[in-house]
Amino acid sequence: MAAPLAPTVAVIGGGQLARMMAEPAAALGIPLRLLAEAEGVSAAQVVPDHEVGDYTDLDTLRRVTEGCAVVTFDHEHVPTDHLHALEGSLAVRPGPEALVHAQDKAVMRRRLVELGVPCPRHAVVADVADVEAFGLPCVLKTTRGGYDGKGVWFVATAEEAAAVFVEAAEQGRTILAEERVDFRRELSALVARSPSGQLAVWPVVASTQRDGICHEVVAPAPDLDPELAVEAQQAAIRIAGELGVTGVLAVELFETRDGRILVNELAMRPHNTGHWTQDGAVTSQFENHLRAVLDLPLGAPDARAPWTVMVNILGGAHDTGRLYDGYPHAMARDPRLRVHLYGKELRPGRKVGHVNAYGDDLEDCLERARHAAAWFAGDLGEESE
Amino acid sequence: MAAPLAPTVAVIGGGQLARMMAEPAAALGIPLRLLAEAEGVSAAQVVPDHEVGDYTDLDTLRRVTEGCAVVTFDHEHVPTDHLHALEGSLAVRPGPEALVHAQDKAVMRRRLVELGVPCPRHAVVADVADVEAFGLPCVLKTTRGGYDGKGVWFVATAEEAAAVFVEAAEQGRTILAEERVDFRRELSALVARSPSGQLAVWPVVASTQRDGICHEVVAPAPDLDPELAVEAQQAAIRIAGELGVTGVLAVELFETRDGRILVNELAMRPHNTGHWTQDGAVTSQFENHLRAVLDLPLGAPDARAPWTVMVNILGGAHDTGRLYDGYPHAMARDPRLRVHLYGKELRPGRKVGHVNAYGDDLEDCLERARHAAAWFAGDLGEESE
């Protein structure tokens, strides 16, 4: 193969986020090189230049990034030390100094408090006595390694807390206690930041979780106080800048019933709450992530429609889901529906795709996206039509 | 790799049209298998499951399509006999009976005349005397194998016609004479048709050629008489149905100065005059081509903006073109610009990419797209800003 015409971007992790980076990479003529967990995983299906290997192995990381201009990530699980080691050879974006805030919740909380960003009340807890001193009921989280509701426990009693410590001790995990926030809903503020310091800020969205997994996103967040929207965006801008984030930063927020916002989580990569941008914004989060890590000027983040609704396709309790086989109904029922499948088989609780519906009428978008996602997941029979 | 979750689509030809099919294929979870002309060609850069081989070799075609549900094409150059032979094993879309009308201009003219579709005056000519009888000046075309202005000659004298016959005889080509149409402009009517007979009809666009290569497309065609627009769309619908086209059909038309339309060319694949749909329509021609060849319901072809302008990036006379290196200026100047590069090196006259600009103001879209394309091609210095 001839020398590439543009710098190659290494992507660590072969999940759907890497897969969805491949679409704008192809359009922009940017070659990707992928480190995949196994042959045939989501992104490996669409990125020719891929290798299968272990992202916790530094030699593997060195080999796959050799000759690349920059390395970025499908997930936040690459050991921080390895990222520091790679920095001698190529640009690591986001860099380890920033990424640690998305890897370690205790580090993240400490830094956000220093910055004066509003957070839920929290404390690192070493035992049940610490939890009781913090106050029950509360939320316990492992500081590292949690995702999609894993590593998070809602505990009401000392017994429940004790069980968490048994589990965490087995895995050598540190535990963070946080207050249970009485929230009205969850919001997400998504920004992309380039090393040069340019920012692209998408509209603030409302997200709904189901069993700890992002399920539905409405862009923009309906009836959001404009001042609160600006506050959420400013928080994301401030965090991105102070932490030196490069690429996409998602700031997941609680909107409290008394009209405040509190930062829940940070993610430094394209995020589920930004999937609506693929069809609903001038520039998608996946394209701007690539632009940002290459320090190219960012694309406009404006919405292209008054409303965009994203609903995830999650494997349901039933065994009646359908993916490709669901196309005839879903596509014929709604010719404007945008479908994104990840090349994964349906399994209970697994994210296998999402749909976007955009338009002028929020109720219509909600109905279309919910119907399609339920149809694919098997949560709906044809008789429901 | 596990068994694919959706039927595999074989694509013959590794050019940019196949490359741009890969984006919606990834989104829809549809695996592609590619037959590429050489390692590293445009589509082979983004389709993992590819083989390098000769599309005029039936054994190669059989091998690459084995296990696929359907085969479709990046170009129209696969021998008709081979397509018939493949039909025993899998669906060939478009099929050979339809495709021959895009492969052979004499067959196409004969059929369109039978259908009563308005065409320029034409005749198959065997020698200079035939051309003189037809009338000079005229246009001579090889009936097979021409593209992007190749295989087309504008002749004014018997001497010029004689030179064409010398060249054509060397290549064993048949020659078609056509009147030189006094056209106001060129239009294109793009439709997708599924085997079940569903149609998606995009707005009629105006296209401008430069040296026989599509250079600029405006969607929709400005100031087009609505009756003429319907006439153009009806012609495309009629041709697609009567010829049994499956996939995208582009009908290139002349709009004459006296307000008629005449069919110039047919293409049965995604077409340069449809590249605007990637950013300007609800469903792109590439996605609907895939849906159509799989006999899935088609996506809505409506425009998403009042105007979309596409300008091709063509290698210029100068050696000052830039592709990736042109991004900092192009992207910073116009954050709403949509860039599509094909992974090809710049060479004089070669199509290496295109840009789309959409918006409410046609002049603004024209200026943005023209500026960016000229910038990439090297036809513009920074001092022109």
d(CA B164, CA B154) in angstroms, rounded, equals 10
Peptide bond preceding B348 in cis form (omega within 30 of 0)? no
Give the length of chain B: 385
Q: Are residues A272 and A141 in the same domain?
A: no
**Shortest CA distance from B299: residue in chain A:** A335
Contact between A27 and B339 using a beta-carbon 8 Å cutoff: yes
A101 assigned to some structural domain: no
* DSSP three-state, residue B37: coil
d(CA B324, CA B327) in angstroms, rounded, equals 5
For residues B47 and B18, the answer to whether their CB atoms sit within 8 Å is: yes
B181 is in an annotated binding site: yes
Q: Are residues B202 and B258 in the same domain?
A: yes
Q: Are residues A157 and A72 in the same domain?
A: no
Contact between A40 and B1 using a beta-carbon 8 Å cutoff: yes
B114 assigned to some structural domain: no
Contact between B23 and A28 using a beta-carbon 8 Å cutoff: no
B105 is in an annotated binding site: yes
Q: Are residues A126 and A25 in the same domain?
A: no
- Read off the pLDDT of each residue in B30-56 and give the average, rounded to a whole number: 97
Residue A294 DSSP code: T
B49 assigned to some structural domain: yes
Domain of A357, CATH number, reads 3.30.470.20
Beta-carbon count within 10 A of A77 CB: 14
Q: Are residues A293 and A371 in the same domain?
A: yes
pLDDT in tens, B147-204: 667 889 999 999 999 999 998 877 778 999 999 999 999 999 999 999 999 999 999 9
A114 is in an annotated binding site: no
Sign for the CA dihedral angle at B149, B215, B376, B355 comes to: negative
Q: What pLDDT shows up at residue B200?
A: 98
Contact between A46 and B44 using a beta-carbon 8 Å cutoff: no
Identity of the residue in B5, B283, B328 whose CB atom sits nearest the CB atom of A323: B5
Q: Over chain B, what is the mean pLDDT?
A: 94
Chain A nearest-CA distance from B302, in A, is: 9
B385 is in an annotated binding site: no
B252 is in an annotated binding site: no
Domain of B138, CATH number, reads 3.30.1490.20
Q: What pLDDT shows up at residue B302?
A: 98
A105 is in an annotated binding site: yes
Q: Are residues A19 and A150 in the same domain?
A: no
Beta-carbon count within 10 A of B67 CB: 12
- Read off the pLDDT of each residue in B361-376 and give the average, rounded to a whole number: 97
Domain final position from B92, B109, B137: B92
Q: What pLDDT shows up at residue A167?
A: 85
Domain of B54, CATH number, reads 3.40.50.20
Note down the domain range covering A199: 183-384
User: What stretch of H or E contains B238?
Assistant: helix B226-243
Question: Residue B34 is which amino acid?
Answer: L
* DSSP three-state, residue A80: helix
Chain A nearest-CA distance from B332, in A, is: 5
d(CA A336, CA B285) in angstroms, rounded, equals 14
Q: What percent of chain B has pLDDT over 70?
A: 96
Testing the interface with A: which of B5, B202, B323, B352 to mutate, by most A Cβ within 10 A?
Answer: B5
d(CA A102, CA A77) in angstroms, rounded, equals 10
Contact between B324 and A23 using a beta-carbon 8 Å cutoff: no
Per-residue pLDDT of chain A in tens (385 residues, 90 and over written 9): 455 689 999 999 999 999 999 999 999 999 999 999 999 999 999 999 999 999 999 999 999 999 999 999 999 999 999 999 999 999 999 999 999 999 999 999 999 999 999 999 999 999 999 999 999 999 999 998 776 678 899 999 999 999 999 988 777 789 999 999 999 999 999 999 999 999 999 999 999 988 778 899 999 999 999 999 999 999 999 999 999 999 999 999 999 999 999 999 999 999 999 999 999 999 999 999 999 999 999 999 999 999 999 999 998 766 677 899 999 999 999 999 999 999 999 888 899 999 999 999 999 999 999 999 999 998 875 444 4
B139 burial level (CB within 10 Å; 0-12, 13-18, 19+): middle
d(CA B340, CA B320) in angstroms, rounded, equals 19
Contact between A345 and B296 using a beta-carbon 8 Å cutoff: no
B264 is in an annotated binding site: yes
Testing the interface with A: which of B32, B46, B199, B308 to mutate, by most A Cβ within 10 A?
Answer: B46
Q: Name the E strands within chain B.
A: 9-12, 32-36, 50-52, 70-73, 91-92, 122-125, 138-142, 152-155, 175-178, 183-193, 199-201, 205-210, 213-219, 247-256, 261-267, 307-314, 338-341, 351-359
Q: Are residues B17 and B153 in the same domain?
A: no
Name which of A75, A67, A34, A68 is nearest A52 in CA terms: A34
Confidence of residue B2 (pLDDT cuts 50, 70, 90): low
Number of domains comprising chain A:
3
Q: Cα dihedral angle (B92, B96, B101, B103), rounded to 10 degrees?
A: 90
B1 assigned to some structural domain: no
Q: What pLDDT shows up at residue B214?
A: 80
Confidence of residue B385 (pLDDT cuts 50, 70, 90): very low
Confidence of residue B382 (pLDDT cuts 50, 70, 90): very low
Chain A nearest-CA distance from B50, in A, is: 9
pLDDT in tens, B80-108: 999 999 999 999 999 999 999 999 999 99
Identity of the residue in A28, A31, A296 whose CB atom sits nearest the CB atom of B328: A296
Domain final position from A159, A178, A197: A178
Contact between A7 and B291 using a beta-carbon 8 Å cutoff: no
Q: What pLDDT shows up at residue B35?
A: 98
Q: What pLDDT shows up at residue A383?
A: 45
Identity of the residue in A30, A324, A328 whose CB atom sits nearest the CB atom of B6: A324
Q: Are residues B196 and B47 in the same domain?
A: no
B4 assigned to some structural domain: no
A316 assigned to some structural domain: yes
d(CA B163, CA A123) in angstroms, rounded, equals 87
A66 assigned to some structural domain: yes
Q: Find chain A residues with C-beta within 8 A of B332's C-beta.
A: 297
Chain B nearest-CA distance from A307, in A, is: 14
**Shortest CA distance from A330: residue in chain B:** B297
Q: What pLDDT shows up at residue A364?
A: 98
Q: Find chain A residues with C-beta within 8 A of B31's C-beta.
A: 45, 343
Chain B nearest-CA distance from A243, in A, is: 24
B98 burial level (CB within 10 Å; 0-12, 13-18, 19+): buried
For residues A119 and A109, the answer to whether their CB atoms sit within 8 Å is: yes
Q: Find chain A residues with C-beta within 8 A of B275's C-beta.
A: none
Q: Are residues B364 and B307 in the same domain?
A: yes
Helix then strand count (H, E) for chain B reads 12, 18
Contact between A331 and B297 using a beta-carbon 8 Å cutoff: yes
Q: Find chain B residues with C-beta within 8 A of A343's C-beta.
A: 5, 29, 31
A360 burial level (CB within 10 Å; 0-12, 13-18, 19+): exposed
Q: Are residues A195 and A148 in the same domain?
A: no
Q: Are residues A274 and A159 in the same domain?
A: no
Contact between A324 and B19 using a beta-carbon 8 Å cutoff: no
Q: Are residues B281 and B348 in the same domain?
A: yes
Identity of the residue in B29, B332, B353 whose CB atom sits nearest the CB atom of A341: B29
Q: Which two tokens stand for residue A301?
A: 């983040």
Contact between B340 and A2 using a beta-carbon 8 Å cutoff: no
A170 assigned to some structural domain: yes
Give the number of beta-carbon pairs within 8 Å between A and B. 139
Domain final position from A133, A152, A178: A178
